[in-house]
Structure 1
Amino acid sequence: MQGTDQPILETRALGKRFSIGTRFSSEGRRLVHAVDNVSLTVQRGETLGLVGESGCGKSTLARCLVRLYDITEGQLLFEGEDITGKSLAGLRPFRRRLQMVFQDPSASLNPRRRVGDLVAEPLRVHGKLGAKAIRERVVELFDLVGLLPDHVVRYPHEFSGGQRQRVGIARAIALNPDLVVLDEPVSALDVSVQAQIVNLLADLQEKLKLTYVFIAHDLSVVRQVSNRIAVMYLGSIVEEGPSEAVFSAPAHPYSQALISAVPVVETTPGGRRRRIILSGDVPSPLNPPTGCRFHPRCPVAQERCARERPALVEHKAGRKVACHFPTI
């Protein structure tokens, strides 16, 4: 099911800052610009892939999208309703419909509780089911994610990493959500297990009519699962567009460098792809560069890039780039 006119999720100039400093004094405290001026739309039924280097703000943005973090500035809208400043009580109706799968299944599951109880918890908190109906629903969820009924009485340490992630997925879909944010759901797994989880997520999306925001640093996985891709650098979106269009012809210099690093099998003599090596280190979000945040490492940067920050603007239908000199 692909898109309607109104996005299921939308951010407008969303920002998240963290204040750091000494424990006992506010003097000398500094701001970490973790997410800055992010505007995105997610259409119902699609998978939006979010990629970028480690530390670029992907996980922080994920937690903002499901309101696990309070938002410093901008707006977050779910089906057109502004949920940016809603209280915990005000967010309660949205928790059923907006869920998250975390990166590390070992850290996201309480080791002292049986996994059946962990999956049942959202049903007890948000549902109106009796004890028997909850038990039946948990068994049904385990079957959906490829686990056995007798697994419900086991503890997380009795499972493999892939099985623990299946438990996390079962918990996320327990309340029949509309949108699931997946924060690097396969990065902690072996390659063969990654493929199984990716296939499971695709099957669940089709069966349950889910919408995904899929966050990863593995571009090969993102290309496989995503309809659209947003590329993130130092807290901001620098490029957005249809998956195949971005991969086949990236328009931002940072996107070009990322995609050039993806391993490929060369099938023709002399057809080797040029590898783009970026100079320097990623700047600190404590003190981001003026102008374009990428300009200190950009191979095509000019004087304008250091003083003027480019806006994320549409250059072609569905292709947005935040660059003064995009190759589009």
Structure 2
Amino acid sequence: MSRHPIVDVQTHMYSLTGVPIYVHQGDWIAGKACGCATIAHPELGEIDVWTTHFTAVGGQIGPETQRAFRTVEAFELARLCRASAQRGRHVLCMGDLNSLPESLCMSVLFSLAGLQDSFASITQQDAESPDTGITCDSPKNTWTANKILDERALRHNGKRLDYILFRGPENSPMRLQCTQHKVTLTEPILAYGVSYSDHFGVEATFEVSNDTQNAPIFQETPSQVLGKTLPLLQEALRLARKRQIFSLRFFGGFLASAAIMIVGNACSAVWLSYGRSVPVSLISGLLLILTSWAGTTALYDGIVWGEWQKRALRTTMDRMEILQSADSYQI
């Protein structure tokens, strides 16, 4: 709901949202995307409000290559938010970003889109501060009770994975200033004794300011962030090729197994024609069905998804290289 009129909406589906065969992870089957509602404000004009939910695969601990899909999503969202600002609009970007404040994904959003963290701006703390603003894996959350937590969550009693980010339009004296930020919905539902979600809510209050002296200062330049991101995606592309070869080899093995079973079924049919009941024929028939399904899955994973993943990574890298080679990058 919005107090002011919503004049437009749009949705952008991310190019990489998880691996299709890992249905249990839920990322690909859910079809992760970002959505935008454009609101007509009487003082600020049009405001683009972006909301999203990044993929969970890769977690928050370990090599950044585990989170390559999320990094691609962050880059796509950063381009959309920056495009909104270039159209002269204020931008709000919020959601479950599944990323720690110091992660590469957040650096992409801060440096390439020019977004500010409402939590960091109001608390006057470093955005990497882990001890406050916890929204996930908190011991106060009932959904955390049976969850296996990593060392980061255990050390700080949870993680800050949910954000409200903001920025002003390019070349405008008016800007938003965060005056209040708080974590909400931390208490269980009284009637049921369970938390509202596995994540707490986040609420921020803004006021309109003409103070250009409080313009954001980013710790890393876009060129520095791109310099760290490109090698990561190059490694992700190498791993994608390796995975594709692995899946195609599996397909070849399943294809050979299916051929052997077809011959076996043919022999069983001949024996049955002489009145002999061969239980093996039933078993081999079921195995043939299972092998055909597994082979088809391996073929899809190796060719259809494998090529899609490589193209998405190459396209993102090409766009990053164009930005990196530009003489200037205004945010």
Asked whether the two chains share a fold, i.e. TM above 0.5, the reply is no
Q: Which has the higher contact order (CA 8 A, sep 6+)?
A: 1
Q: Give the TM-score normalised by the residue count of structure 1.
A: 0.25
- Tell me which structure has the larger Cα radius of gyration: 2
Higher helix share: 2
